[in-house]
């Protein structure tokens, strides 16, 4: 069980682990306070902390967004990946919010760049609209996984179809 959203205090996070949560997903709070990430990793292990990085392009530059895309982080997406690694994240969940829900394809350029910065498992999200999109992001990057949902909700595609396509 993974839980995220509004996790800005260690007491809240500890309570979740006491209730049986396996992992917390941290975004805005962690990027404002990396010591919180270190405390979680030290107490519960790195595998218990996923750091989420949302980004978008503004004036042809990728920026790291916080608070549901309403605020720009002072750190670049690259700096945020490095800090997540340094302070004990177990994996990185990356979402290109410009493409999220669009079914227009993954932004391979930024996914490749960010996933090469860290040795952490890297999950990409945002844009998968057909099986070729999934194949291309897996072929052209070194990510560990892909997160998607709209292709399953708004098309006639199934997980089994994707697995068969990738096997071929």
Give the tens place of pLDDT for each residue, 27-62.
988 888 999 999 999 999 999 999 999 999 999 999
pLDDT at residue 121, rounded to an integer: 96
Let me know: does 110 contact 65? Beta carbons within 8 Å: no
Phi and psi based region of residue 54 (left: phi greater than 0; alpha: psi -120 to 50; beta: remaining): beta
Q: pTM (2 decimals)?
A: 0.86
Min mean pLDDT across 57-66, 68-77, 97-106, 140-149 is at: 97-106
The pLDDT mean for the chain works out to 89
Predicted local confidence at residue 154, as pLDDT: 63
- The pLDDT value recorded for residue 51 is 96
Question: For residue 92, what are its two tokens?
Answer: 């990185």
CB-based burial label for 42 (10 Å; 0-12, 13-18, 19+):
exposed
């Amino acid at each position: 069980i993974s839980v995220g959203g509004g996790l800005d205090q260690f007491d809240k996070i500890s309570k979740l682990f006491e209730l049986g949560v396996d992992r917390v997903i941290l975004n805005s709070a962690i990027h404002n306070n990396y010591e919180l990430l270190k405390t979680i990793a030290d107490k519960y292990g790195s595998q218990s902390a996923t750091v989420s990085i949302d980004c978008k392009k503004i004036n042809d530059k990728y920026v790291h967004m916080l608070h549901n895309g309403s605020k720009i982080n002072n750190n670049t997406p690259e700096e945020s990946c490095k800090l997540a690694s340094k302070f004990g994240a177990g994996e990185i969940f990356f979402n290109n919010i410009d493409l999220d829900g669009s079914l227009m394809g993954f932004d391979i350029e930024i996914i490749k760049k960010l996933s090469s910065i860290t040795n952490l498992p890297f999950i990409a999200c945002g844009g998968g609209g057909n099986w070729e999109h999934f194949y291309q992001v897996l072929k052209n990057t070194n990510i560990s996984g892909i997160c998607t949902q709209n292709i399953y909700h708004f098309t006639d595609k199934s997980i089994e179809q994707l697995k068969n396509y990738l096997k071929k």
